[in-house]
Homo-oligomer: A and B are copies of this chain.
């Protein structure tokens, strides 16, 4: 976070922000595949070649949008739980808020969880931004465990080899229970994104009628399966 001092640096920062802002608008309109650097330049009233003084290229621009979207989704889901609500309700709220954000930002969601762009490599800050959603899910489980509201699962836990998961992730999640529920938590995260993606990408047309109800049901089943008590 270098504070801009000179007027040049100020102008540079604002112009770069302008470019990214209009890029996000265009992304929301036409999607990542049809995002055109020239169209962005036209919209800003500058020559297309001038954009390259602020952005290395199309891929870097998409990476910036990726980071923005991950953080926006992360902020949304982190504000979904409420302290006075039950863990299962908070768990479900995260699912529904994530879906709502995806519905309101279809192309951004597709950029995050759809087909990655051909020449893509995830920088470090990207993965931390992407982790905010699964970490929010883990936090609900941990808070429930800390307040004695995480019951043992009814079904016996299957054999589970913890070395399937990266040790850093195990430490990062700091899940109170280190059994098969760790894998179940990853599956819940996957199922959340997968269900939203199936709805948005059309795989549920002709299959699911009431999408929100279906996701809420799935959230509750998954949450109770992980040991969150039904209210």
Contacts and interface: CB of A to CB of B under 8 A. Distances in A.
Interface string A167-201: 01100000000001001101100110111011001
Interface residues of A, number: 57
Contact of A183 (B117, B186, B221): B221
B221 A184 contact: yes
B33 A164 contact: no
Interface in A114-142: 114-118, 122, 127, 130
Interface in A132-171: 154-155, 158, 160-161, 163-166, 168-169
B165 A221 contact: no
Nearest to A191: B191
Nearest to A183: B217
Contact of A34 (B118, B130, B155): B118
Given A166-B209, A191-B191, A207-B165, A116 B183 contact: no
A76 interface: no
Nearest to A161: B213
A162 to B, nearest CB: 10
B160 A217 contact: yes
